[in-house]
Amino acid sequence: METFTLQTPTQEAGLATAMEVVYQWNYDPEVDELRSLYVKAAEAQWIGARDIDWERPIDLARFATTPLGAGIPIEKTSYWRSLPGETLVELTRRTAAFRLSQFLHGEQGALMVAAQLVNAVPHTDAKFYAATQTMDEARHVEVFARYIEKLDEIRPIAPSLKGILDQTLTTGDWMKKLVGMQIVVEGLALYAFREMRNLTQEPLLRDLLTYVARDESRHHAYGVQYIERCVPCLDAAARAELEDFAVECARSLIDRNAQGFFTTLLGIWQEVGVDPVAMLSSLHDEREEITRELPPGRRLGPVQGFVIPTLRRCGLLSERVAARFHEFLRENFGSRVAGVNVEEFLANLPDLPADTARWVVGELQ
């Protein structure tokens, strides 16, 4: 039997946070849509060990269909297509393990932020809902860890993701916690889970992501429904501060120059014998061609396709921050994705799906 200790070698030093705990003496339903979301969440609980069949081995050939989620699909480059089958299988397995590890660590962050929200949000319905989300996130941590260990190995958190989680956990402002977690991190996750779920032909991963993505669509709904009520109550300065927080979170998650993600991916390519220079120059040369087919008004990645539309819906996309979003999207993905100017960027911004729960399982575009 393993020895139980208070300190384990895998735990980090404690992070001091500035959160205020808020009692609320009104227990009557007050925000109806949050109360019904809470009931829906309670009804939709599932159990990782019981409801998913873990006995199935992972079929690596089928696993190779799993998308890698780069901003521009590197799977479409000529260099990628020239690689031998075994290299592609290995590359997909390791890259996916890295990506799934980021999901896993993000889920741990979500677990802790959701638990903080129980304490910090001032409305009873919002506390109730955050309690159900806390349970959901615990389950997500459990199932992702189990899957990655079956697939490969858990890789460390990318510093840029850790930075956002730290910022969201340490801020004393509960609305920033909502924006950082429920809009930016959850928005990116939901988009990525959807894409992975709908394209992978690996049945166990697909099952797991179906359960997780359904929960995440409620988490996103919580953010939207709560924040869109809160934003009109803010003065201009507070609203601008919240907008800036959202931009910084989104930027550090997708910026290619941000510490971590990209360097690790290059490392993985080298591990399996892929030449990063050849891969990148193929991507660079073919970027316009690969993105040319994409019609305007479509979702072209998590930030343009989901996070920014969510911010717009919540009243957090002023012209000022739209210009900043446009600028960093264009730097990272080029004008075909971002639009040549802010006007085009805003005109091509898709609306949020009419029904996120159906969108996430591929029933809506």
Query: At its nearest, how many Å lie between Fe ion and the CB of residue 293?
Result: 32
294 three-state secondary structure: coil
Residue 161 carries which DSSP code? H
Site for Fe ion in 110-129 (CB under 5 A): 110
Transcribe 91-140 into DSSP letters: HHHHHHHHHHHHHHHHHHHHHHHHHHHHHH-SSHHHHHHHHHHHHHHHHH
Taking CB under 5 A as the rule, does residue 218 contact Fe ion?
A: no
Residues 194, 356: Cα–Cα separation, whole Å: 10
Q: Which stretch binds Fe ion (CB under 5 A): 96-104, 108-116, 307-315, 320-328?
A: 108-116
Query: At its nearest, how many Å lie between Fe ion and the CB of residue 364?
Result: 20
Query: At its nearest, how many Å lie between Fe ion and the CB of residue 110?
Result: 5
Taking CB under 5 A as the rule, does residue 105 contact Fe ion?
A: no
Q: Which stretch binds Fe ion (CB under 5 A): 80-88, 149-157, 216-224, 326-334?
A: 216-224
Residues 88, 67: Cα–Cα separation, whole Å: 12
Nearer to Fe ion, 168 or 291 (CB): 168
In angstroms, the Cα distances linking 314 to 135, 222, 251, 318, 348 are 25, 12, 19, 11, 18
Site for Fe ion in 173-192 (CB under 5 A): 186
Q: Quick one: which of 5, 72, 37, 65 has its CA closest to 254?
A: 72
Nearer to Fe ion, 125 or 137 (CB): 137
Site for Fe ion in 239-298 (CB under 5 A): none
Nearer to Fe ion, 26 or 45 (CB): 45
Query: At its nearest, how many Å lie between Fe ion and the CB of residue 279?
Result: 31
Nearer to Fe ion, 107 or 286 (CB): 107
Site for Fe ion in 56-95 (CB under 5 A): none
Q: Quick one: which of 337, 340, 341 has its CA closest to 329?
A: 337
Applying CB under 5 A, what is the total number of residues that bind Fe ion? 7
Nearer to Fe ion, 94 or 140 (CB): 140
Nearer to Fe ion, 183 or 303 (CB): 183
Q: Which stretch binds Fe ion (CB under 5 A): 8-16, 49-57, 105-113, 296-304?
A: 105-113
Residues 225, 120: Cα–Cα separation, whole Å: 17
Query: Amino acid letter at 78?
Result: S
Query: At its nearest, how many Å lie between Fe ion and the CB of residue 212?
Result: 6
**Burial label, 237 (beta-carbon count in 10 A; 0-12, 13-18, 19+):** exposed
Query: At its nearest, how many Å lie between Fe ion and the CB of residue 183?
Result: 11
Query: At its nearest, how many Å lie between Fe ion and the CB of residue 106?
Result: 8
Taking CB under 5 A as the rule, does residue 219 contact Fe ion?
A: yes
Residues 91, 169: Cα–Cα separation, whole Å: 33
Residues 362, 365: Cα–Cα separation, whole Å: 7
Query: Amino acid letter at 3?
Result: T
Query: At its nearest, how many Å lie between Fe ion and the CB of residue 58?
Result: 21
In the complex, the residues that contact Fe ion under the rule CB under 5 A are: 107, 110, 137, 140, 186, 216, 219
